[in-house]
Amino acid sequence: MPSYNQQSAVTVLGLGPMGRALAGAFLDAGLRVTVWNRTPGRDKELVARGAVSALTAAEAVAASPLSVLCVVNYDAADTIVRPDAVAAALKGRTLVNLTADTPGRARDTAAWAAEHGIGYLDGAIMTPTPTIGTPHAVFLHSGPEDLYREHSAVLDALGGTHTHLGPDIGRAASYDIALLDLFWTSMAGYAHALAVARAEGITAGELAPFAKGIAAILPAIIDESVADVDQRIFSGDGNPLSSAVSSMSHIVDAAEEHGIDSGVMRAAEGLGRRAMGRGFGASSFLRIIDILDPARADS
């Protein structure tokens, strides 16, 4: 049995694909859900399932002790919650902002919330909409521990795993940025691989089983890199940076023979060559962290 009261109320501001998924999961969990979106009409299905449609954002946040905000970015979030009427309605209540943006914007919003007597938690959603309400959803949260504990039962209704990363309000956004960095640079690499494969007459379908094999190597590499990076060991045993750079130069050569833009691969190869120039040829590839961020190279 869920530990929240089935009559607990929650408001969802923002009904894009993610906001609708969040509101739907709250409804499925039996909560009393109020919804609002800038563009009217996006709540039809939710209302048919029992959600209450608010005419204004102020009316929406007044309906529940907890409001969850999920829109495209913090510029949009600001236009929704910072008007006086909404801020006044939020006073003494809690706002959980699951909108993605930078850690700086999260900290700025927390300062604004504190000035207005609003409890504020920031969060990040690390999985796509179909996972919401299922065990596969992943949520990261940051902000005051007691406030998080107060609302965690309602947030748990969204399914999946919820991790509170500590009181630094920017922490969830920091994880989000780092993890999306990994995701998008990986996707850029995959797009480049598909272009090279296509030029050689290999379809995405033919490459897929082997591409998945490459992706499956990464979890072990991530585990091994923990000591490498956190203790600054950068052991190149088994796969030194010099060998990695040689491998990357083959990819650049093969791609450019086909007239394929190799900017993505050249960027990685260039970082490796600069690290070799600094005498790190025998280190692991991850030594390029110090080339990317020389200011913290000795910290």
CB contact at 8 A, 66 and 85: no
Is residue 70 near ligand NDP by the rule CB under 6 A? yes
Q: Which amino acid is at 147?
A: L
CA distance 90 to 82: 10
* Local structure of residue 283 (DSSP, 8 states): B
Residue choice 37, 64, 97, 109 for contact with ligand NDP (CB under 6 A): 37
**Residue number, 39 or 299, with CB nearest to ligand NDP:** 39
Residue choice 10, 18, 87, 89 for contact with ligand NDP (CB under 6 A): 18
CA distance 189 to 184: 8
Is residue 64 near ligand NDP by the rule CB under 6 A? no
Is residue 283 near ligand NDP by the rule CB under 6 A? no
Q: How many residues bind ligand NDP (CB under 6 A)?
A: 21
Which residue's CB comes closest to ligand NDP? 16
Cβ at position 14, least distance to ligand NDP in Å? 4
Residue choice 4, 8, 11, 14 for contact with ligand NDP (CB under 6 A): 14
Tokens of 91: 């006073």
Q: Kindly give the interhelix angle for 263-277 and 171-199, rounded to the nearest 10 degrees.
A: 110
Is residue 182 near ligand NDP by the rule CB under 6 A? no
DSSP characters for 45-109? HHHHTTPEEPSSHHHHHHT-SEEEE--SSHHHHHHHH-SHHHHHHHTTSEEEE-----HHHHHHH
Is residue 265 near ligand NDP by the rule CB under 6 A? no
Tokens of 256: 């450019």
Applying CB under 6 A, which part among 33-41, 44-52, 151-159, 214-222 lies near ligand NDP?
33-41
Residue choice 72, 215, 221, 292 for contact with ligand NDP (CB under 6 A): 72
CB contact at 8 A, 23 and 51: yes
Residue choice 29, 33, 58, 100 for contact with ligand NDP (CB under 6 A): 100
Max alpha carbon distance in the chain (Å)? 65
Residue choice 38, 93, 162, 274 for contact with ligand NDP (CB under 6 A): 38
Applying CB under 6 A, which part among 73-81, 84-92, 135-143, 195-203 lies near ligand NDP?
73-81
* Contacting ligand NDP within 122-181 (CB under 6 A): 125, 128-129
Give backbone dihedrals phi and psi of 175, rounded to 5 degrees, phi first: -60, -45
Q: How far is CA 17 from CA 20, 51, 71, 299, in A?
A: 5, 16, 10, 42
Is residue 102 near ligand NDP by the rule CB under 6 A? no
Residue choice 10, 11, 12, 15 for contact with ligand NDP (CB under 6 A): 15
Residue choice 19, 119, 133, 281 for contact with ligand NDP (CB under 6 A): 19
Q: Which amino acid is at 248?
A: M
Cβ at position 117, least distance to ligand NDP in Å? 23
* Contacting ligand NDP within 227-256 (CB under 6 A): none
- E strands, the chain, where? 9-13, 32-36, 52-53, 66-69, 94-97, 119-125, 138-142, 161-164
Run of H or E including 221: helix 204-230
Residue choice 17, 104, 167, 294 for contact with ligand NDP (CB under 6 A): 17
Interacting residues toward ligand NDP by CB under 6 A: 14-19, 37-39, 42, 70-72, 76, 79-80, 99-100, 125, 128-129
